[in-house]
Structure 1
Amino acid sequence: MKFDTAYYDSVIDQHRYERLGLGAIDFGLAGMSPDDLRTKWMCHTGAGNFAEAVAMGEPATVTTGVGLGGPPHAGTLFQLLRAVKLQQCGLNVQIVLGDLDSYNARRTPLDSVRQLADRYEEFVLRLGFDADCGVLRRQEGETDVMATAFLLSRHLDDADFQWAEEDLAGLYRNHGVFDHLNYGMKQATLLMAADFVHLLLQGHHVLVSLGVDEHKYVALARRGAERWGLPSEHLSGIYTKMIPGLGGLPKMSKSIPGSGIDASLPGEDIRALLGADADTAPSEDGSALLQMYACLPEVDGPAYDRAAAARRARSPEWLAIREQLVERILSLFSHWPK
């Protein structure tokens, strides 16, 4: 599988999502224009309704989460930075650390999960997230959300979980991450859906920010909420492009060694890996460097367009952007507790 333009078009057409920044969307969000939004996300479902709710002052929360399979890689870093960006724009934001997700789906020992959660919590705060203005939490100990998961489970069955497997499941099987959708993985997916639906139960409009390979998780939660009789139209999703992996892999992933860069690597290794990237992909979507640049909080629509044009021209400006990007990533990864 390749996360390229053809894949994105297929996802949008199949699931009737709307493309951000290409004229199909006519709303901004928290002061970000459609051009700005397209630098961070590529499609959505129902996000226009969420933006209207925000504009009308109705209770509204953006929620995202990260798995705890190891030190953060570039994709995890930028998912967290998107959340920080939205909070700084004035939105109410929740970040969930998927400790029980890792415990159930990855069979990670609980002590190891808790230690990782401690480090992730400190990392998120060092990246600029304000826990006094938003929610930074783990799954363990949130018994009210667990109760929501139990209630939600009545409205979902095995066929729903099979349908909702993320688009990279085949790749993970090929690399030995898992061999089938087992009970623990279903439990992890159920709890993730409950993380979204619990906010819905509290009367919030909810916007879930995830990678586009995980778009079915939001659809699963909406399916369960609708069957439950909850206002599923108040649950929306906004989805990011994938950062292409190294060595021809479609995505940088904590689960696939050698696919990317992460906070555990020495700075010299990160410089060498990114410096060696020939960046020959014909499309903008296929350029790991350009997609990482797009994810930086300070990069808006016009800045991305300038960088994309410089990359096409192979100009000295693009070489300078590449060097600045590497140093920026090193600075961000330096916040990871050693």
Structure 2
Amino acid sequence: MKFDSAYYDDVIARHNYERIAPESTAAASGSATPEADAESALGAIDFPLADLSPNDLRTKWMCHTGARDFATAVADGKPATVTTGVGLGGPPHAGTVFQLLRAVTLQQHGLHVQIVLGDLDSYNARRTPLAEVRRLADQYEEFVRRLGFDEQRGVLRRQEGNADVLATAFLLSRHLDDADFTWAEEDLSGLYRNHGVFDHLTYGMKQATLLMAADFVHLLAQDRHVLVSLGVDEHKYVALARRGAERWGLPAADRLSGIYTKMIPGFGGLPKMSKSIPGSGITAAMPADDIRALLAADTDSGPDDDTSALLQMFACLPETGGHAYDLAAEARRTGGHRWRELREELTERLVGIFSLWPQL
């Protein structure tokens, strides 16, 4: 599997998602046809989220389902929360870091944001010892704060100890069955099996998925509008939560939305950077010089912008808006001095971000 333009187009088409890309984007690249322009216009995002413009939104996210309703709820002053979460399988890699930075960006633009640290997820699905999970949770909490998350204006929590959400998971479980969990496996489950991460969908993995869905549904049950921000490989988790919530009788169709990010391509031809696959990317455990060496060695020879790890990491920086991204994409396509300069700037920015990881 490759997380390239063809993959993204297929996911959007099969699940009837809406693309996040102003219709002018394709034309600006010089590769659009009238038919492509028309198709893009049908799915183009045409609404802001808080004070983030559509042009800036598409640098951080790729497609969505129901985010328009969420944006309207925010504009109308209704109770609304963006929620995301990260697994604690080890020190964060670039994909995890940028998921957290997206959450910080949304909070800084005025949205109420929840970040859930998936400690029980890792304990159940990855069989990580509890003492190690708790140590990692301590590190992740401090890291999120250092990235700029303000707990006075949002929620940063672990799964362990949240009895109310655990109760929601138990109530939700009545409305889901094994077939639902099998359907909702991540798109990369085959890759993980090939790399020995797991060989089948275990009871613990189902428990972890259930609790993740409950993290979303618990907010819904509190009569809030909910927008879940995840990598597009995990998009079925939102659909699973919707499925269970609707069977339960909660208004998921109108109030539970998803917004999905592109993947940060991995090194060595791997489709994404993953904590579960050693050597696939850069992590916070690496010395700064090792990060510099890996990024310098990346040939960045992917066939399109979506397969460029460097460009996709640049897009995810909080300060990168739509105009800056377009200039960087054009610099990558033409090569030369400006792209080399941007690569060097990005490398040092990443080194600085990863240096915030606490060494406990």
Partner of residue 291, structure 1: 312
What is the deviation of 1:317? 1.1
Q: Which of 109, 121, 133 is the matching residue for 1:113?
A: 133
What residue number does 2:221 align with?
201
In structure 1, the partner of 2:15 is 15
Structure 2 spans left out of the alignment, 5+ residues: 24-43
Q: TM-score, normalised by structure 2?
A: 0.93
Q: How do residues 229-248 of structure 1 correspond to structure 2 at under 5 angstroms?
A: 229-232=249-252, 233-248=254-269
Q: Deviations over 1:5-33 (max 9, x none)?
A: 00000000000001001432211111111
User: Following the alignment from structure 1 to structure 2, what is the Cα–Cα distance between the partners of residues 130 and 244?
Assistant: 29
1:304 and 2:325 are equivalent in the alignment: yes
Q: Deviations over 1:13-55 (max 9, x none)?
A: 0000010014322111111111111100000000000000000
SS of 2:250's partner is coil
Partner of 1:4: 4
SS at match of 2:144: helix
Partner of 1:147: 167
Counterpart in the other structure of 1:94: 114
Q: Distance in 2 between matches of 1:332 and 1:203?
A: 36
Give the percent of matched residue pairs that are identical in Structure 1 and Structure 2. 77
CA RMSD of aligned residues (A): 0.6
* Mapping for residues 74-93 of structure 1, pairs under 5 Å: 74-93=94-113
Cα deviation digits, residues 46-81 of structure 1 (max 9, x gap): 000000000000000000000000000000000000
User: Which blocks of at least 5 consecutive residues in structure 1 are unaligned?
Assistant: none
Letter in 1 for 2:263: M
> Are 1:324 and 2:345 matched, yes or no?
yes
| Paired letter, 2:11 | V
Q: Give the drift of 1:315.
A: 2.6
Write the distance in 2 (CA, Å) between the matches of 1:315 and 1:88: 35
* Distance in 2 (alpha carbons) for counterparts of 1:178 and 1:265: 25
- Partners of 1:216 and 1:196 lie apart in 2 by 13
Indicate whether 1:334 and 2:355 are aligned: yes
Where in structure 2 are the equivalents of 1:170-189 lying within 5 Å? Answer: 170-189=190-209
Q: What residue in structure 2 maps to residue 134 of structure 1?
A: 154
Residue of structure 1 aligned with 2:189, choices 148, 156, 169: 169
Counterpart position of 2:35: none
How many Å apart are 1:122 and its aligned residue?
Answer: 0.3
